[in-house]
């Protein structure tokens, strides 16, 4: 019996344990490899990330759920779905990292273990109901991202982006820790279930202090997702980081942060009308500001990395509406949107990573003029991502926005749904601007003539296109299983 329990615990820990151990092994192996062996290191890293994708999928398929060790890590369906997203984003980024770093003369093997450590931090964040463990996962993720952001040390923009990300990230983490301290001070608990029980029973030592702690926690994660007015770091960091790292950061960090917020708010702070009404109001204000400001600022961008950065801000606003909706529908809608967002955003950044000129990112809109005439398949793929981000059927972005919109209406937040509709219309203007440049303008630069698409990058783009289209044409393949996700509840005791 003890052996069976140990086996179940290890299986519950595998989505976190595997990338952590694999990253450590890679970190040990990097100094031992010669420069000529770097390609083998990449093969090993891609293989490991593929296994990291298959581990949570297998657990979902077999219906395994449980707790891994001292009830600190959970292996429930919500965590497993998010683990799949993290690994898929990491896999697509790994497929284009070597070619990109070689073009900018910044190829370093350390980026591969760092990618696994970042995935490990994300899995810890979404697989626990303990605030201290969430903090640990957040730190593991953040430190890895800080280093990867500044990987191209020969470019001043990359170093500045890493420094800005580090300073603002440290500031938001401090707010999170202070919020944890206040919540613990009034409830005496670090676990979300215990906090939720104290909130429901009213056994807290000061409601204003509890609300202050919750406010600090929300602000900390508003920084992480780039919600307005805590979004100022997003365009500069997205622009300065290596483009494959930006792709991973845009999808993975957002999924991890919203996974934490989804579990934390509805498990720990949804039992009291006084408390829940306050954070619903706060998220409503953040959502409106984020949707409108993100889309309006994206309108005036002519660099695609900055355009997609403000687009990421706007999509954070849409996802905030999913948090406000009742958990019965909100959880499935948020997870589905995050999955779609992973495919279409990472795919768009993968295409951007192919455009380079003199060792610099060539992401000006003029570089994409007439792309369809020279590279029709690449233009079609980018067009799919832009249309999906716009919310055009029958692509995944449309279904994601529609489910969030419907959840807002059904939960009585009609005004927020109207603002979302207006923001989506504004967003269509800058996404379609990219499509017009690619399909209806003559080429302005000769860059496209020398554009090379390595096979791994082509695989990443094809995977992103397939995910974006399939989730739009057959959303029930994912929405069905997601509708059975219970936030904060493991299926096995």
What does the pLDDT look like over 390-425, one tens digit per residue? 999 899 999 999 999 998 898 888 999 999 999 999
DSSP, res 130 = B
Answer whether residue 130 shows pLDDT above 50.
Answer: yes
pLDDT at 6: 45
Answer whether residue 4 shows pLDDT above 70.
Answer: no
Considering the chain, what is the average pLDDT of its residues?
86
pLDDT (mean) for 107-130: 91
Answer whether residue 63 shows pLDDT above 90.
Answer: no
> In whole angstroms, what separates CA 257 from the centre of its chain?
7
* Cβ-contact 237, 149 below 8 angstroms: yes
Tokens found for residue 432: 């379609």
Start-end of H helices in 269-303: 273-299
Among 50-59, 65-74, 195-204, the least confident range: 65-74
The CA-based dihedral angle spanning residues 439, 441, 446, 451, taken in that order and rounded to the nearest 10 degrees: -10
The DSSP bridge partners found for residue 74 are: 67
Share of the chain above pLDDT 90, in %: 54
Of the two residues 445 and 364, the one the predictor is more confident about is: 364
pLDDT at 1: 41
pLDDT at 348: 94
What does the pLDDT look like over 211-242, one tens digit per residue? 999 999 999 999 999 999 998 899 999 998 99
* Cβ-contact 35, 103 below 8 angstroms: no
Answer whether residue 366 shows pLDDT above 90.
Answer: no
Tokens found for residue 220: 């900390």
Answer whether residue 2 shows pLDDT above 50.
Answer: no
How crowded is residue 19: how many other Cβ atoms within 10 Å of its Cβ?
Answer: 29
What does the pLDDT look like over 271-295, one tens digit per residue? 777 888 899 999 999 999 999 999 9
Contacts of 174 (CB under 8 A, 6+ apart): none
DSSP, res 227 = -
What does the pLDDT look like over 137-169, one tens digit per residue? 999 999 999 999 988 877 788 889 899 999 998
Contacts of 111 (CB under 8 A, 6+ apart): 97, 101, 148, 151, 245
The label of the residue with tokens 């997003």 reads 234
**Cα–Cα distance for residue pair 93/464, rounded to 1 Å:** 11
pLDDT (mean) for 163-178: 92
Taking the CA atoms of the chain, what radius of gyration do you get in angstroms? 22
CB under 8 A, 24+ apart: contacts of 417-420: 417/321, 419/287, 419/288, 419/291, 419/292, 420/291, 420/317, 420/318, 420/321
pLDDT at 489: 36
pLDDT at 141: 94
**Cα–Cα distance for residue pair 179/261, rounded to 1 Å:** 14
Tokens found for residue 324: 């406000």
* Cβ-contact 447, 318 below 8 angstroms: no
Among 249-263, 323-337, 371-385, the least confident range: 323-337
pLDDT at 351: 93
How crowded is residue 370: how many other Cβ atoms within 10 Å of its Cβ?
Answer: 20
pLDDT at 34: 67
pLDDT at 423: 94
Tokens found for residue 70: 């001292």
pTM score above 0.85 = yes
**Cα–Cα distance for residue pair 124/112, rounded to 1 Å:** 19
The CA-to-CA distance between both ends of the chain, in Å, stands at 15
CA angle 218, 343, 486 (to 5 degrees): 50
pLDDT at 332: 86
Answer whether residue 359 shows pLDDT above 80.
Answer: no
pLDDT at 490: 35
pLDDT at 3: 46
pLDDT (mean) for 27-55: 83
Contacts of 215 (CB under 8 A, 6+ apart): 179, 282
Residue 349 banded pLDDT, cuts 50, 70, 90 = very high
Contacts of 188 (CB under 8 A, 6+ apart): 194, 198
pLDDT (mean) for 55-63: 84
pLDDT (mean) for 423-439: 92
**Cα–Cα distance for residue pair 477/144, rounded to 1 Å:** 33
pLDDT (mean) for 48-60: 91
pLDDT at 493: 28
| Exposed/middle/buried for residue 276 (C-beta within 10 Å: 0-12, 13-18, 19+) | middle
Using CA atoms, how far residue 175 sits from 79, 172, 181, 213, 223, in Å, is 25, 5, 10, 9, 10
pLDDT at 447: 61
Answer whether residue 481 shows pLDDT above 90.
Answer: no
pLDDT at 435: 94
* Cβ-contact 303, 263 below 8 angstroms: no
């Amino acid at each position: 019996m003890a052996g069976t329990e140990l086996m179940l615990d290890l299986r519950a820990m595998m989505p976190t344990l595997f990338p952590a151990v694999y990253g450590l092994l890679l970190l040990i192996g990097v100094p031992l490899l010669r420069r000529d062996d770097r390609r083998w290191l990449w093969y090993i890293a891609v293989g490991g990330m593929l296994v990291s994708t298959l581990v949570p999928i297998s657990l979902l398929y077999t219906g395994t759920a449980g707790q891994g060790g001292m009830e600190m890590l959970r292996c429930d369906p919500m965590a497993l779905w998010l683990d799949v997203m993290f690994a898929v984003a990491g896999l697509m980024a790994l497929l284009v990292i070597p070619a990109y770093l070689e073009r900018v003369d910044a190829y370093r093997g350390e980026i591969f273990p760092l990618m696994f450590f970042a995935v490990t931090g994300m899995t810890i964040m979404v697989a626990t109901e303990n605030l201290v463990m969430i903090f640990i996962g957040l730190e593991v993720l953040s430190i890895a991202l800080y280093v990867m952001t500044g990987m191209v040390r020969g470019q001043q923009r990359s170093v500045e982006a890493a420094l800005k990300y580090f300073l603002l990230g440290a500031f938001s983490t401090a707010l999170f820790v202070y919020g944890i301290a206040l919540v613990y001070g009034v409830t005496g608990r670090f676990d979300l279930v215990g906090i939720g029980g104290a909130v429901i029973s009213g056994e807290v030592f000061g409601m204003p202090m509890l609300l202050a702690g919750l406010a600090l926690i929300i602000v900390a994660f508003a920084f992480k997702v780039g919600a307005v007015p805590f979004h100022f770091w997003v365009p500069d960091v997205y622009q300065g980081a290596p483009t494959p790292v930006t792709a991973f950061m845009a999808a993975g960090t957002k999924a991890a942060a919203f996974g934490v917020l989804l579990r934390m708010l509805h498990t720990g702070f949804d039992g009291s009308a006084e408390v829940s009404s306050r954070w619903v109001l706060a998220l409503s204000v953040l959502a409106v500001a984020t949707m409108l400001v993100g889309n309006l600022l994206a309108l005036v961008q002519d660099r695609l990395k900055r355009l997609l950065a403000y687009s990421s801000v706007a999509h954070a606003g849409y996802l905030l509406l999913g948090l406000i909706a009742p958990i019965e529908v909100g959880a499935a809608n948020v997870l589905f949107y995050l999955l779609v967002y992973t495919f279409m955003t990472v795919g768009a950044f993968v295409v951007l990573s192919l455009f380079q000129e003199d060792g610099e990112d060539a992401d000006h809109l003029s570089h994409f003029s007439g792309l369809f005439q020279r590279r029709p398949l690449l233009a079609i793929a980018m067009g799919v991502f832009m249309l999906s981000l716009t919310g055009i059927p029958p692509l995944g972005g449309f279904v994601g926005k529609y489910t969030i919109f419907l959840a807002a209406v059904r939960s009585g937040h009609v005004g927020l749904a109207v603002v979302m509709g207006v923001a989506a219309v504004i967003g269509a203007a800058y996404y379609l601007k990219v499509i017009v440049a690619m399909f209806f303008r003559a080429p302005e630069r000769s860059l496209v003539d020398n554009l090379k698409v390595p096979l791994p990058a082509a695989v990443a783009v094809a995977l992103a296109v397939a995910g974006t289209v399939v989730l739009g044409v057959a959303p029930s393949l994912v929405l069905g299983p997601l509708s059975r996700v219970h936030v904060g509840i493991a299926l096995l005791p």
